[in-house]
Structures are given as C-alpha cells and as structure tokens.
A = this chain, B = another copy of it.
Amino acid sequence: MSAGQGHEGGPIGVALFGAGNVGGGVVEALDRGGERYAAVVGRPLELRGALVRDASTPRHGLGSECLTTDPDALLADPAVRIVVELMGGEDPAADYIARALRSGRHVVTANKEVIAKQGRDLLAIAADHGVRLLYEASVGGGIPIISPLSRDLLANEITGVTAIINGTTNYMLTGMASEGADYADILADAQRLGYAEPDPTADVEGIDAAYKLAILCGLAFHVAVRPDDIVRQGITTLTANDLRHADALGYAIKLLANGRLVDGELIASVQPTLIARSEPLAKVDGVLNAVQVEGDLVGRVVLEGPGAGPGPTASAVLADVLDLARDIVAGRPPVETPPLRRVRVRPPGEHRARRYLRMTVADRPGVLGEIGYALGAHGVSIASVIQVEADEDARTAEIVLTTHIAAGAELEAALDAISASDVVEEICNVIAMAG
C-alpha cells in the first residue's frame, strides 16, 4: 500500500488500537461529526475495527464484529489507511505503532510515554515508509499546540516553552494554596475525584510532565531529549506552609515544565516553581493545562485548556486524523520534517536560578549571619528573609529565605556546607523561582 494513493472516492479506513475511555470518545465523535468530517476531507472516514484486550466485552458504538485482539487482523485490511493508537503505556504500544508504520499506515497516537521515549526512532520508521506519525494528543490534551508552532508562530525564533501539563498536580497545588489543604488530604481528595491514580507516582513525581516536556521540546526546538535527562523534582515535599510563604511574597507555586535552548544547549526541567502571581501561568488553576511559548517577535503567548479527558483527547486525535485524511485525498506526500537533533542537555548543576529555601535551624543569636556567610562562601547570596518562627520547646526555628541567582552546583555545595554545620538541623525544601 502506498501512502499517497486512496481508493478513489471511497471511504478512508481508520483502525483503533485501544477502545477504552478515550477510544470511546473518538468513536462517538466520528459518529456524531461524520457528515462534517466527510465534507472537510472530501471523502468519508470509516471505522474499520478496534483492537481490544477482551473482544467479548461490548463497547458503545462498536459492534462485536469490529473487535479483535489481533493487531495483524486490522493491518491485513487494505482499507485501513490510518491507525489510531490509544492503548497507553510503552509496551506493546510502541511495537504495534512500528508495525502499523511499516505496513504503510499513517499513525495517530495520544501516547506520551511512547513518543517521549521512542518518538525519534518511530518518526524515522515513518519517514522510511513514506507515512506520517502524528501525536498532537500526547501533550496538553485538546490545547492547540502543533499548528501554532508550525504555522502561526513560524516567523519567530522560539526561545522557551513553559507549561503546566499535569492536571493532577495542578489541581492539588491549587487546593493547597486556596484551602490551605495538606498534601496528603488533597491527594486523597484528588484520588476520590478520579483526578489522581491509586498509585500517584507518575503525576506527583513529575514523570508524566517530563514525558510531555520531552515532546514539547521536540516540537518547539526540533531537538530530541530523553525524559531521563530532564531535571525533575516532584511536589511531594511541598506543604501548605510553603504555599502560604510564597503567597506572602507575591508568588504562586506551580509544577512547571520548562525548556529553553541557550547557545545550542537545552535546559529542561520539571519542578515546583515560585512564579509571580501576576504571570498568566500563575492564574491557571485546577485541572487546566497551559503552554506558554516565547518567541523573539511575539513575546509570549499562552495556550490554555483541558489537558485530559475523552472529549479533548478526541479533539486532538481527530485533528491529526483529518489532517492525514486531507493529505490522502489530495495525494500530498508526507511533509518532510527534519529529524530531531540531539543536543547537549545541561545537568542540574548548571541550572542558574533564584531559589526559595525553607530550613530548620538552631534557635540562637547569630544563626542567620552564619547561614548567610556559609552560603556566600559558595557564591550564593541571600535576597530576602521571609520568615523566622521559633519552636521554643525544640529550641529550633524555621527560616524561609530566597537567594539571588546561583548555579545549581553552587547551591548544592553551599547547602552541603550548612548541612554539615551545627547551625542547620534540616533543609526542608528547595524550590526554584521563575524569572
């Protein structure tokens, strides 16, 4: 099968790999929007079948004759031109995507893990076989990201992307800030509402956001970054007190995914970050996602919307499907996209930022001076001291301070030094500050 040729005038066959929650959204949208999509494309889309784990479970909108547990049965159908992968997880999804591409099918996926870890290789397979692999739905749900970067902002040199791309943690941080809720309580709350998984690790440790940031860096800068190379810090050590201190300083705390290309090197991090309350991203609350793009001409634009759910994901998946279908009808060959470049990814020691520090110290005169001296000896200077609260029983005090800009390595050496002294009992939290 050649990617450029359709069965003249006939429907364009679509196969689903995975027919769960999001798959159901795609089936329903195809059903409801069918006539409109046929008008947009010039030929109707036809759902040819769905790969499922258990073909005996009935699915809404899919007759049992459409269901199969064998991907090759769907790939054997010559009418299938586009495969939509919605299984999630790396294995076996990555293998199935590769098989679909090798069989000459275009593939649309919402699978952030596969694209973040194997996207570069899969895109090469697609190019080798004259087909396309599209993945708008893998980051930011239904938020338009692909075409703003590839069309409307194309005249800009993109210098940075900063994003809130994990709804679970944003819901939690919003609750901790607005209600003063504790981490454990708000996590339980999010789990009860279905916003957090029973095992919340991937969300609260920033793993999910790191996958998505890796994909965003590819889209914005055309560079490949391994998720493991992204500096990553979760939200598990944050307390309602940190959010209160930040608020007093005029900041919100958000789990920000940030990527920037500086002198040909990539700086990429997912970490809780103090961000001035007047900033657009500081106002993105609850499960909403948002992606801020910085360009040399436009300054900053923010794209905001629902980052998850069957409807928004179907919106993004079907945008890709319609794009492919129009190319098939027009006989347009796949757009040549330059392969993603590998660049040096700066290690955390080279990340320069202001930081917020919360620590427990001995409650005696002169302590602040000693800390300032020890930090200064390693190139870290104190910008402000926010709060000193003594616990008279324990004879300790809690200090919250902010530093001027310093490299991660300088800060680490400084913190090692004060931790080794008899002044500091515990360094409770170190949080980056934006800007």
CA distance A150 to B40 in the complex (A): 10
B155–A318 touching, CB < 8 Å: yes
A151–B147 touching, CB < 8 Å: yes
Report A120 CB to chain B, min CB distance, Å. 21
A152–B147 touching, CB < 8 Å: yes
B residues in contact with A302, CB < 8 Å: 302-305
Chain B residue nearest to A312 in the complex (CB): B298
B144–A148 touching, CB < 8 Å: yes
B residues in contact with A37, CB < 8 Å: 155
- Interface membership of A192, Cβ < 8 A: no
B142–A146 touching, CB < 8 Å: no
B144–A303 touching, CB < 8 Å: yes
- Interface membership of A63, Cβ < 8 A: no
B297–A318 touching, CB < 8 Å: yes
Residues 281-296 of A contacting B (Cβ, < 8 Å):
283-285, 288, 295-296
Report A395 CB to chain B, min CB distance, Å. 44
A298–B280 touching, CB < 8 Å: no
Chain B residue nearest to A332 in the complex (CB): B332
- Interface membership of A319, Cβ < 8 A: yes
B residues in contact with A317, CB < 8 Å: 155
Contact of A298 among B36, B285, B305 (CB under 8 A): B305
B285–A312 touching, CB < 8 Å: no
B residues in contact with A343, CB < 8 Å: none
Report A315 CB to chain B, min CB distance, Å. 4
Residues 28-86 of A contacting B (Cβ, < 8 Å):
29, 32-33, 36-37, 40
Contact flag A298-B155 (CB < 8 Å), given A148-B147, A148-B148, A304-B280: no
B152–A144 touching, CB < 8 Å: yes
- Interface membership of A314, Cβ < 8 A: yes
Contact flag A146-B157 (CB < 8 Å), given A298-B312, A299-B306, A312-B297: no
- Interface membership of A21, Cβ < 8 A: no
Contact of A151 among B32, B301, B323 (CB under 8 A): B323
CA distance A314 to B296 in the complex (A): 11
B residues in contact with A298, CB < 8 Å: 141-142, 305-306, 311-312, 315-316
B residues in contact with A32, CB < 8 Å: 296
Encode contact with B along A2-42: 1 for CB under 8 Å, 0 otherwise. Answer: 00000000000000000000000100010011001100100
Instruction: Provide 12 A-B residue pairs closer than 8 Å at the C-beta atoms, listed in order of the A residue.
Output: A142-B298, A144-B148, A153-B319, A155-B317, A155-B319, A155-B321, A295-B315, A298-B315, A298-B316, A301-B303, A301-B305, A304-B304
Give the top 6 A-B pairs by smallest Cβ distance, nearest first: A155-B318, A301-B305, A144-B152, A144-B148, A142-B298, A147-B147
